[in-house]
Amino acid sequence: METFFMSGLIPFDLFASWGYKIVIVIVALGPLIFIHELGHFSIAKILGIGVERFSLGFGPKLIGKKVGETEYLISVFPLGGYVKLIGEDPEEECQDLERSFSAAAIWKRLSVVIAGPLFNMMAAILIFAIIFMVGFPTMSTRIGEVKEGSPAMSGGIKKGDKIISVDGKRFDQWDKLADMIRSNPGKEMTFVIEKESGEIFQTMIAPIPEKIKNLFGEEIEVGLIGIIAEGEIIKESYNPAVALLKGIEITWKLTKFTIL
């Protein structure tokens, strides 16, 4: 097999690259689809709607066992899974109308449908909360470079300095500091700086308004002061209550970002 790939007809490194991407897709999407279908399955069971089949994966059955009315399967292709509800297809003959999805009250059907994405959101919140509890790497506010003639240089900021706060708001993470500066073009703000020696000083700096394009290609105005991060990595972690709130916050932000 390897000789065939190395002959030049199909480069082996190209095959390996695509194989790696396929594995990544399966690993990433598989659990998401499974959790999504688990949501449909769980709420259907709770509301008394019959479930004929719940499969881990797609395609031909590898192994399966029927428990009550539901057949639980492991199928050949490990990309997520699927749920088949009793009476899901209104054109199929249904022997159990009382437990049929099609005959269920509208609020029950709606609950089953919504349960999929809701379970995905709950899973995302939980994953982010765990990450925030364990701790995640982020860049500190230490400065690696100050551009010549920039507002930062005029304000006395030098390489190696660390920005502690802006307008009384404390910053430990570079991305949040960058958001603060970018969202205030032209506004003079109070920067509290810590030098490498430990000395603290205060300076007034007004970010220069500049036009840039965002992820959608739209031209927006942001504020820049002419600094580049040093790349110093710190670890941020939070207690369970704060981590849960942050998990909800970032999940909501990502959800809003995907809705156009």
* Close Cβ partners of 183 (under 8 Å, ≥ 6 residues apart): 222, 223
DSSP state of 100: -
Structural tokens at position 42: 């769980």
Rounded to the nearest 5°, which phi and psi values hold at 94?
-115, 125
Residue 224, classed as helix, strand or coil, is: strand
Residue 37 annotated among the catalytic residues of the structure: yes
DSSP state of 195: -
Catalytic residue among 2, 37, 145, 148: 37
Block residue for tokens 């209104």 = 90
Sign of the alpha-carbon dihedral angle for 234, 165, 125, 253: negative
Residue 177, classed as helix, strand or coil, is: helix
Confirm if 121 and 207 have CB atoms less than 8 A apart: no
Nearest-angstrom CA–CA distance, 207 and 249 = 28
Q: Which of 123, 133, 150, 57 is nearest to 255 (CA)?
A: 123
Residues marked as catalytic: 37
